[in-house]
């Protein structure tokens, strides 16, 4: 089927001459038609369907989750979404088609410190559970805060095959601590530069956690 499509596209160029043929070849090179299958979801994509670039400008509009809302998602090992429930779709503002097989950071807000995601990934890749507060950004630029629980998913041989996340509404009491903390971390990252940003930001987070208890997990779970 793929070869047939290529032949149909090339045939006019062959008939019309070298210039048109060269133009079509360049077009094909820029828009590769090789099909790839995502093993996790079975959804087929064309290679020229590039991952969505989130160029949304953040706004000051806040969307508040309901008390009984739970945002649920699953990703593969590289963070590509393989499942998103209807609450995820509702708050993200994207459709299922727009988000499946895209990176989970499609909803990342620029107000989030890099150190939080570094901690998240290092924790779950080590096979451990992560808990944390996350500010997400919707498709229209609005934002919503969540308390996230992220855990690894395993196959029958106890190999990690993906990640499972459940998020609920973040309490105002917790955000009164988290928002100024994250702002301090962001400032530290900006001042430290790209190379040392995560280390500088992490030191602030861990110092705060030690002040409040016996480490990061106890700190976030106590808020």
> Which of 200, 187, 107 has the alpha carbon at shortest distance from 146?
107
Q: Which residue has the tokens 């079975």?
A: 42
Q: Residue 111: how many CB atoms within 10 A of its CB?
A: 14
| 138 and 33 housed in the same domain | no
| 23 and 108 housed in the same domain | no
| 32 and 86 housed in the same domain | no
Which of 9-23, 39-53, 187-201 shows the lowest per-residue confidence on average (mean pLDDT)? Answer: 39-53
Structure tokens at 165: 């996340």
Note whether residue 59 is domain-resident: no
Note whether residue 184 is domain-resident: yes
Contacts for 157 with CB less than 8 Å, ≥ 6 apart: none
How many whole angstroms separate alpha carbon 94 and alpha carbon 138?
8
pLDDT of residue 49: 29
| 132 and 181 housed in the same domain | yes
Give pTM, 2 decimals: 0.76
Count of domains observed in the chain? 2
38 has a pLDDT exceeding 50: no
| 97 and 14 housed in the same domain | no
Which of 15-29, 84-98, 164-178 shows the lowest per-residue confidence on average (mean pLDDT)? Answer: 15-29
> Degrees (nearest 5) of the Cα angle 152, 156, 159?
45
């Amino acid at each position: 089927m793929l070869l047939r499509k290529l032949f149909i596209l090339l045939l006019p160029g062959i008939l019309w001459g070298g210039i048109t043929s060269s133009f079509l070849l360049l077009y094909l090179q820029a828009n590769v038609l090789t099909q790839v299958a995502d093993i996790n979801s079975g959804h087929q994509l064309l290679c020229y369907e590039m991952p969505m670039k989130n160029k949304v400008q953040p706004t000051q509009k806040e969307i508040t989750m309901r008390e009984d809302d739970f945002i649920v998602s699953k990703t593969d090992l590289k963070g590509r979404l393989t499942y998103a429930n209807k609450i995820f779709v509702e708050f993200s503002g994207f459709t299922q088609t727009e988000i499946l097989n895209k990176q989970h950071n499609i909803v990342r807000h620029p107000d989030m410190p890099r150190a939080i995601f570094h901690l998240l990934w290092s924790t779950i890749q080590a096979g451990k559970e992560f808990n944390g507060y996350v500010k997400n950004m919707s498709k229209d630029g609005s934002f919503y805060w969540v308390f996230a629980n992220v855990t690894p998913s395993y196959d029958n041989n106890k190999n990690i095959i993906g990640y499972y996340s459940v998020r609920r509404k973040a309490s105002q009491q917790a955000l009164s601590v988290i928002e100024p903390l994250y702002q301090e971390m962001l400032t530290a990252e900006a001042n430290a530069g790209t190379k040392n940003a995560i280390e500088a930001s992490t030191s602030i987070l861990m110092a705060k956690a030690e002040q409040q208890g016996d480490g990061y997990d106890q700190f976030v779970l106590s808020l």
